[in-house]
Amino acid sequence: MSLTSDEVRSIARLARLAISDQDIPRYADNLSRILDFVAQLDKAETASVAPMAHPLDMSQQLRADVVTETNQRELFQKNAPQVEAGLYLVPKVIE
Amino acid sequence: MQWETVIGLEIHAQLLTKSKIFSAASTAFGAPPNTQACLVDLGYPGVLPVLNKEAVRMAVKFGLAVGAGIAPRSVFARKNYFYPDLPKGYQISQYELPVVGRGSVEIELEDGSSRRIGITRAHLEEDAGKSLHEGFEGISGIDLNRAGTPLLEIVSEPDMRSAKEAVAYMKKIHSLVRYLEICDGNLQEGSFRCDANVSVRRQGEQKFGTRAELKNINSFHFVEKAILYEVQRQIDVIEGGGKVVQETRLYDSKKNQTRSMRSKEEANDYRYFPDPDLLPLEIAESFVTEVRKTLPELPDEKKQRFMRAYGLSAYDAALLTASRELADYYETLVQAVGGEAKLCANWVMGELSAALNQNNQDIAQSPVTAVMLAGLLKRILDNTLSGKLAKEVFEAMWAGEGNADAVIENKGLKQITDSSAIEKIIDGIMVANPQQLSDYRAGKDKLFAFFVGQVMKATQGKANPQQVNELLKRKLTG
Amino acid sequence: MHTKTLAQLARDLKARKLSSEELTRSYLARIERFNPQLNAFITVLQEEALVAARAADARIKRGDVGVLTGVPLAHKDIFCTAGVKTSCGSKMLDNFVSPYDATVVERLRQAGMVLLGKTNMDEFAMGSSNETSFYGPVKNPWDPTRVPGGSSGGSAAAVAARLAPAATGTDTGGSIRQPAALTGLTGIKPTYGRVSRYGIIAFASSLDQAGVITYTAEDAALLLGAMAGFDPRDSTSVDRPVPDYTAALEHPLKGLRIGLPKEFFDQGLDGRVGAAVHAALTIYKKLGAEVRDISLPNFWLSVPTYYVVAPAECSSNLSRFDGVRFGHRCESPVDLLDLYTRSRGEGFGAEVKRRIMTGTYVLSAGYYDAYYLKAQKTRTLIRQDFIAAFENVDVIMGPATPTPAFGLGEKTEDPITMYLNDIYANGVNLAGLPGISIPMGFVDKLPVGLQIIGNYFDEARLLCAAHQYQRETDWHGQIPKGFQ
CB contact B39 to C (< 8 Å):
yes
Q: Which of C200, C204, C368 shows the shortest C-beta gap to B46?
A: C200
- Examine residue C284 and state whether it is found in any structural domain, yes or no: no
Mean pLDDT throughout C450-459?
98
Which residues of C are known to be catalytic?
Answer: 76, 151, 175
B46/C232 CB distance under 8 A:
no
Q: Which of C235, C356, C419 shows the shortest C-beta gap to A61?
A: C235
B82/C365 CB distance under 8 A:
no
Total of domains in chain C? 1
Would you state the pLDDT for residue B467?
86
Would you state the pLDDT for residue C322?
97
Mean pLDDT throughout B340-357?
94
Sign of CA dihedral B414, B416, B418, B421: positive
Residue C165 has pLDDT above 90, yes or no: yes
B39/C197 CB distance under 8 A:
no
* Burial state string for B342-381 with b = 16 or more CB within 10 A and e = fewer than 16: eebbebbbebbbebbeeeeeebeebebebebbbbbbbbbe
A69/B73 CB distance under 8 A:
no
Angle at C412 between CA C410 and CA C414, to 5 degrees: 105
pLDDT tens track for B19-64: 999 999 999 999 999 999 999 999 999 999 999 999 999 999 999 9
Please name the residues between 251 and 290 in chain B that touch chain C, using a CB distance below 8 Å: 269, 271-273, 275-279
- Taking the CA of residue C204 and the nearest CA in chain A, the distance in Å comes to 11
Would you state the pLDDT for residue B266?
58
Residue A15 has pLDDT above 80, yes or no: yes
Domain ranges for chain B, please list them: 3-291, 297-411, 419-477
Mean pLDDT throughout C300-321?
98
Would you state the pLDDT for residue B474?
87
Residue B306 has pLDDT above 80, yes or no: yes
Would you state the pLDDT for residue B264?
54
Residue C410 has pLDDT above 70, yes or no: yes
Question: Could you tell me how far CA A48 lies from the centroid of its own chain?
Answer: 29
Which residue in chain C has the smallest CA separation from A50? Answer: C377
Residue C260 has pLDDT above 70, yes or no: yes
Percent of chain B residues past pLDDT 70, beyond the cut: 99
Question: SS3 for C116?
Answer: strand
Mean pLDDT throughout C262-288?
96
- Taking the CA of residue A6 and the nearest CA in chain C, the distance in Å comes to 13
**Chain C CB contacts of B23 below 8 Å:** none
pLDDT tens track for C323-377: 999 999 999 999 999 999 999 999 999 999 999 999 999 999 999 999 999 999 9
- A69 Cβ contact list (under 8 Å, min separation 6): B19, B23, B24, B25, B26, B36, B38
Would you state the pLDDT for residue C33?
97
Question: Could you tell me how far CA B175 lies from the centroid of its own chain?
Answer: 6
The CATH number that applies at residue C102 is 3.90.1300.10
Would you state the pLDDT for residue B315?
86
pLDDT band at residue B318, thresholds of 50, 70 and 90? Answer: confident
C235/B50 CB distance under 8 A:
yes
C200/B90 CB distance under 8 A:
no
- C429 Cβ contact list (under 8 Å, min separation 6): C171, C172, C173, C174, C189, C192, C207, C209, C306
Select the residue from A76, A87, A89, A90 to test the B interface by mutation, using most B Cβ atoms within 10 A.
Answer: A87
Sheet holding B150-156, edge to edge: B103-108, B114-126, B150-156, B3-14, B192-202, B212-217, B247-252, B257-260
Interface size, chain B vs chain C, as Cβ–Cβ contacts under 8 Å: 99
Mean pLDDT throughout C224-253?
97
Neighbours of C242 (CB within 10 A): 18
- Examine residue C440 and state whether it is found in any structural domain, yes or no: no
Which residue in chain B has the smallest CA separation from C92? Answer: B45
**Chain B CB contacts of A67 below 8 Å:** 18-19, 24-26
Q: Report the neighbours of C using a cutoff of 3 or more CB pairs below 8 angstroms.
A: A, B
A90/B142 CB distance under 8 A:
yes
Q: Which of A34, A49, A75 shows the shortest C-beta gap to C99?
A: A75
H-state helical runs in C228-330: 245-248, 271-286, 302-317
CB contact B44 to C (< 8 Å):
yes
Q: Which of A68, A87, A88 shows the shortest C-beta gap to B24?
A: A68
- B20 Cβ contact list (under 8 Å, min separation 6): B26, B27, B40, B41, B52, B126, B148, B149, B150
Q: Pick B215 or C471 by higher pLDDT.
A: C471
Mean pLDDT throughout B296-318?
92
Residue B338 has pLDDT above 80, yes or no: yes
Would you state the pLDDT for residue B262?
60
Question: SS3 for C301?
Answer: helix
Q: Pick C81 or B419 by higher pLDDT.
A: C81
Mean pLDDT throughout B149-174?
96
Domain interval for residue C35: 6-255
- Examine residue C344 and state whether it is found in any structural domain, yes or no: no
Tell me which amino acid residue C76 is.
Answer: K
DSSP string, C192-233: TTSS--TTBPPS-TTT--EEEEESSHHHHHHHHHHH-S--TT
- Examine residue C241 and state whether it is found in any structural domain, yes or no: yes
**Chain C CB contacts of A5 below 8 Å:** none
C322/B47 CB distance under 8 A:
no
pLDDT tens track for C42-59: 999 999 999 999 999 999
Select the residue from C76, C309, C313, C319 to test the B interface by mutation, using most B Cβ atoms within 10 A.
Answer: C319
Neighbours of B407 (CB within 10 A): 23
**Chain B CB contacts of C320 below 8 Å:** 43-45, 87-89
A92/B139 CB distance under 8 A:
yes
Cis peptide before C319, with omega less than 30 degrees from 0?
Answer: no
pLDDT band at residue B456, thresholds of 50, 70 and 90? Answer: confident
Beta pairing partners, C140: C143
pLDDT tens track for B235-269: 999 999 999 998 899 998 889 888 888 655 456 79
The structure's pTM equals: 0.91
SS (H, E, C) chain B: CCEEEEEEEEEEEECCCCECCCCCCECCCCCCCCCCCCHHHHCCCCCCCCEEHHHHHHHHHHHHHCCCCECCEECEEEEECCCCCCCCCEEEEECCCCCECCEEEEEECCCCCEEEEEEEEEEEEECCCEEECCCCCCEEEEECCCCCCEEEEEEECCCECCHHHHHHHHHHHHHHHHHCCCCCCCCCCCCEEEEEEEEEEECCCCCCCCCEEEEEECCHHHHHHHHHHHHHHHHHHHHCCCCCCCEEEEEECCCCEEEECHHHCCCCCCCCEECCCCCCEECCHHHHHHHHHCCCCCHHHHHHHHHHHHCCCHHHHHHHCCCHHHHHHHHHHHHHHCCCHHHHHHHHHHHHHHHHHHCCCCHHHCCCCHHHHHHHHHHHHCCCCCHHHHHHHHHHHHCCCCCHHHHHHHHCCCCECCHHHHHHHHHHHHHHCHHHHHHHHCCCCCHHHHHHHHHHHHCCCCECHHHHHHHHHHHHHC
Which residue in chain A has the smallest CA separation from B90? Answer: A15
**Cα end-to-end span (Å), chain A:** 37
A5-43 belongs to which CATH class? mainly alpha
Q: Among candidates B96, B282, B155, which has minimal Cα distance to C368? A: B96
- Taking the CA of residue C160 and the nearest CA in chain B, the distance in Å comes to 28
Least confident range from B126-140, C165-179, C382-396: namely B126-140
Mean pLDDT throughout C381-393?
98
**Chain A CB contacts of B250 below 8 Å:** 95
Q: Which of C80, C322, C363 shows the shortest C-beta gap to B89?
A: C322
**Chain B CB contacts of A85 below 8 Å:** 33, 141
**Chain C CB contacts of A80 below 8 Å:** 324-326
C304/A30 CB distance under 8 A:
no
User: Average per-residue pLDDT in chain C?
Assistant: 97
Would you state the pLDDT for residue C64?
85
Q: Which of A72, A73, A95 shows the shortest C-beta gap to B250?
A: A95
- Taking the CA of residue C50 and the nearest CA in chain B, the distance in Å comes to 27
Q: Is the ipTM of this complex over 0.90?
A: yes
Residue B283 exposure: Cα atoms within 13 Å on the Cβ side: 27
CATH architecture of B419-477: Orthogonal Bundle (1.10)
Q: How many residues make up chain A in this entry?
A: 95
